[in-house]
Amino acid sequence: MTLNQQVVKFKNMKSNWNDSYIEKSLFMIYIGTEDYLNFTKANPNADASAQQAFVTNVINRLKNDIKLLYSLGASKFVVQLLAPLGCLPIVRQEYKTGNECYELLNDLAKQHNGKIGPMLNEFAKISTSPYGFQFTVFDFYNAVLRRIATGRSLNYRFFVTNTSCCGVGTHNAYGCGKGNVHSKLCEYQRSYFFFDGRHNTEKAQEEMAHLLYGADPDVVQPMTVRELIVYPTGETMREYWEPNNLAIRRRPSRDFYLGLAAYY
């Protein structure tokens, strides 16, 4: 299902919950991977203008879907940036890049990611109480890159980061779980970052969850998921997403958040 189909389905099912429940709920969005994988496969020689136009199209559709969710009563959003798509084992295998990432896909992901924060800022700044638009952005791209980069992966105790635990092929990236494929399964999946050609192992996902909830300003801003949960529903935001300075952010109202968070 596309994101829009999911949103329309939510609209049709909305009567199952009261407005207060929806307003307090987190709407977590991670979307775009298939769009860019399919675009690159269909347009291997796309020039910069074609790439930019496609990214703009994807972002506009995402913006419309978030706008529709907001109009249906959603007010708290967690949007996850795209991973470095060119580093997925299935991409390395299909494009025969060896141990290197396929930079065209990484560039598309970076273009996409660069538009997310400003888009969400715009929603938040034009909203007013008691219908405040609240959000946070998870920098999944750099969180993944730090864990798979040569020379750094061992810091996170991932010993295999360019091939997957389950599958077949040069990067063990195809066919995991398919009945007609004799896929191989690694002996110890927790030493791998990728479980199959497109998905992370459970250990990798555990680390990402800790980053989301655990107050790491290097990868989550302008607040953590824990802070977003307890942020007073309907209020406008006091901080917004800022580019390129995650590590030096300050949260002047942090004590307020932590006081509320103690109840959860």
* pLDDT surpassing 80 at residue 174: yes
Residue 257 included in any domain:
no
Q: Which residue has the tokens 């909203």?
A: 127
Classify residue 66: in a domain, yes or no.
yes
User: Average pLDDT over the chain, rounded to whole?
Assistant: 90
> Does the residue 87 lie in any domain?
yes
At a CB cut-off of 8 Å and minimum separation 6, what does 92 contact?
86, 98, 99, 100, 101, 102, 162, 170, 171, 173
Domain membership flag for residue 152:
no
Instruction: State the total domains in the chain.
Output: 1
**Residue 137, domain member (yes or no):** yes
Task: Give domain status of residue 238, yes or no.
Answer: no
pLDDT one-digit tens code per residue, 184-235: 999 999 999 999 999 999 999 999 999 998 756 778 999 999 999 999 999 9
Look at residue 222 in the predicted model and tell me its pLDDT: 94
% of the chain residues with pLDDT over 70: 91
> Is position 85 within any domain?
yes
pTM: 0.89
pLDDT at 217: 73
Range with the poorest average pLDDT among 27-41, 93-107, 209-223, 236-250: 236-250
Q: Residues 184, 166: contact at Cβ < 8 Å? A: yes
CA distance 12 to 27: 16
Q: What is the pLDDT of residues 230-261, one digit of tens each?
A: 999 999 999 999 986 543 344 444 443 333 33
- Find out whether the peptide bond into 243 is cis, omega within 30 degrees of 0: no
Residue range of the domain that includes 217: 3-144+205-230
Inter-axis angle of helices 48-71 and 3-13, to 10 degrees? 10
User: Has residue 196 been placed in a domain?
Assistant: no
pLDDT at 244: 63
pLDDT in tens, 116-129: 999 999 999 999 99
